[in-house]
Amino acid sequence: MVRNVMEFFRNLPPKKCAECGDNIEEQHECYGIVCDRCLRHVSE
């Protein structure tokens, strides 16, 4: 069971910013689709 979960996450593709296409760090998962830089741009 545990090994299957590990492989599931390992096989997930990195999230990419919907604005610039950069990979998104997992810590930004709550915002989902844009990176930190674009997030600031959007909030202006």
Nearer to Zn ion, 4 or 29 (CB): 29
Interface with Zn ion (CB under 5 A), residue from 6, 7, 20, 23: 20
Q: Say how many residues touch Zn ion, by CB under 5 A.
A: 5
State phi, psi for 27 to the nearest 5 degrees.
-65, -15
CB of 43 to Zn ion, least distance (A): 13
- State the alpha helices, DSSP H only, in 1-44: 2-11, 36-43
Q: Is 24 in the site for Zn ion (CB under 5 A)?
A: no
**Which CB, 15 or 19, lies closer to Zn ion?**
19
Residue 32 φ/ψ region, left for φ over 0, alpha for ψ in the -120 to 50 degree band, beta for the rest: left
